């Protein structure tokens, strides 16, 4: 969930004066409307519908100095509700960070907090809706929100290192993860303090995010791998690389994601490519185009051999404390099935406080 929030100081009777100044609460609410129509190869409408969805999030954060070594710390957590959420409300942006400012090194005990591998970081997306959002909702899609193991969305320990003015390099390790296996229903994201490793096994992710010292440039690179689970023939792996460049009112972006799940007996590798362009008409209005493709290496003659394509037009408008995003998309050959197409219109209001 992208954070578009303002900081507000809060007070508590049990806090010292210095702690009060360093504590903040922020929040966000999203209301989204989707309208979808789809066809199979014969032209028959199979999945059409419309409706609202909503998401709310409250963030608590505190920062200051430890009483040893002059180290900095930051700690916080979020309460998030996706629609009528039945799972944990506390599994996003929960963290304790310890930082040595002189060396630029941070040790992070966190979930869904540090730079991580998901479609919201896609350089080709730029703003608005991700390809996975435009191609899901009742459909099976080759496009993924998280290519490879979900290390960043699991309880993990990470070392983050500033590389001069070039960016940040991170190594993130999760002893038990929320992986991409369809055979697993129990999350290893840390449901209690006594949680132990399950058959989901450990995974790591190495990442770099920065501008390489070039103004207007953003480079994202992620590679992740999970330890092979007992009874599974394949290890979950993923790679995501993206480049975005802004010059004045124009922004260009391209991203490539390659991954495979561990729920198959033979390695089925999917490649997704995203291309985006956005133009800021003025400080309130931004227009954009998004094109994405996805294809896997399933053997010829079986479902999934076609390249899934997505083309979308997006508009973003800044209303001050509320942002509006509208997108219109066309999907062809969903999930690699020839003639399985869909159209989607999405509208989202985002309120920050």
Q: Which two tokens stand for residue 255?
A: 């991203």
Domains of the chain listed by start with CATH number: 8-352 (2.40.160.10)
* Mean pLDDT over the full length of the chain: 82
More confident residue, 186 or 353: 353
Q: Which two tokens stand for residue 89?
A: 């409300």
| Residues 150, 154, 158: CA angle, nearest 5 degrees | 100
Average pLDDT over residues 284-299: 90
Using the Cα atoms of residue 191, residue 29, residue 149 and residue 105 in order, give the sign of their dihedral: negative
Residue that has been written with the tokens 């369809």 in this structure? 182
Q: What is the dihedral angle through the alpha carbons of 81, 85, 88, 93, rounded to the nearest 10 degrees?
A: -30
Instruction: Pick 159 or 146 by higher pLDDT.
Output: 159
Q: Which of 8-12, 146-150, 174-178, 256-260 has the lowest mean pLDDT?
A: 8-12
Q: Identify whether the C-beta of residue 333 lies closer than 8 Å to the C-beta of residue 311.
A: no
Return the pLDDT at 28. Answer: 92
Separation of alpha carbons 47 and 141, rounded Å: 14
Q: Are 253 and 276 in contact (CB under 8 A)?
A: yes
Is the whole-model pTM more than 0.85? no
Q: Give the pLDDT of residue 46.
A: 61
Query: What is the pairing mode between strands 8-9 and 105-111?
Result: unpaired
Which tens digit of pLDDT belongs to each residue from 326-338? 999 999 988 888 8
pLDDT at residue 168, rounded to an integer = 96
- Residue 275: predicted pLDDT: 97
> Quick one: CA dihedral 341, 131, 144, 94, positive or negative?
negative
Residue 191 or 353, more confident: 353
Q: What is the mean pLDDT of residues 259-282?
A: 86
Q: What is the rounded CA–CA span in Å between residue 151 and residue 238?
A: 11
Q: CA-CA distance, 105 to 115, in Å (whole number)?
A: 14
Does the structure show a pLDDT above 90 at 284? Answer: yes
For residue range 92-143, list pLDDT tens digits in order: 889 999 999 999 999 999 988 888 777 677 899 998 899 988 887 667 788 8
Name the DSSP class of 137: S
Number of other CB atoms surrounding residue 175 within 10 Å: 18
Least confident of 52-61, 101-110, 194-203: 194-203
């Amino acid at each position: 969930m992208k954070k578009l929030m303002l900081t507000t100081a809060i007070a508590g009777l049990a806090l010292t004066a210095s702690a009060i100044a360093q504590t903040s609460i922020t929040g966000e609410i999203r209301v989204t409307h989707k309208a979808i129509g789809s066809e199979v190869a014969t032209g028959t409408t199979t999945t059409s519908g419309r409706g609202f969805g909503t998401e709310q999030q409250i963030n608590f954060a505190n920062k200051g100095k430890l009483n040893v070594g002059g180290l900095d710390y930051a700690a916080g957590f979020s309460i998030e509700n996706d629609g009528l959420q039945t799972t944990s409300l506390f599994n996003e942006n929960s963290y304790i960070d310890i930082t040595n400012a002189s060396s630029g090194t941070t040790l992070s005990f966190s979930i869904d907090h540090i730079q991580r591998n998901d479609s919201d970081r896609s350089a080709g997306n730029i703003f608005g809706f991700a390809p996975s959002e435009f191609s899901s909702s009742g459909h099976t899609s080759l496009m993924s929100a998280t290519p490879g193991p979900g290390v960043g969305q699991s309880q993990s320990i990470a070392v983050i290192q500033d590389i001069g003015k070039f960016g940040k390099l991170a190594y993130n390790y999760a002893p038990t993860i929320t992986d991409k296996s369809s055979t697993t229903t129990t999350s290893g994201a840390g449901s209690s303090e006594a949680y132990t490793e399950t058959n989901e096994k450990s995974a790591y992710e190495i990442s770099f995010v920065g501008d390489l010292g070039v103004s207007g440039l953003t480079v994202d690179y992620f590679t992740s791998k999970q330890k092979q689970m007992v009874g599974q023939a394949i290890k979950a792996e993923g790679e995501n690389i993206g480049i975005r460049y802004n010059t004045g009112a124009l922004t260009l972006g391209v991203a490539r994601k390659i991954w495979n799940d561990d729920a198959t007996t033979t390695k089925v590798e999917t490649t997704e490519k995203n291309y985006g362009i956005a133009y800021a008409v003025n400080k309130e209005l931004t227009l954009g185009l998004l094109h994405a493709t996805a294809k896997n290496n399933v053997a010829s003659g079986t479902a999934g051999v076609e390249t899934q394509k997505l083309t979308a037009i997006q508009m973003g408008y800044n209303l001050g404390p509320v942002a509006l995003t509208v997108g219109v998309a066309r999907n062809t050959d969903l999930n690699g099935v020839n003639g399985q197409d869909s159209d989607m219109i999405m509208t989202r209001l985002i309120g920050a406080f």
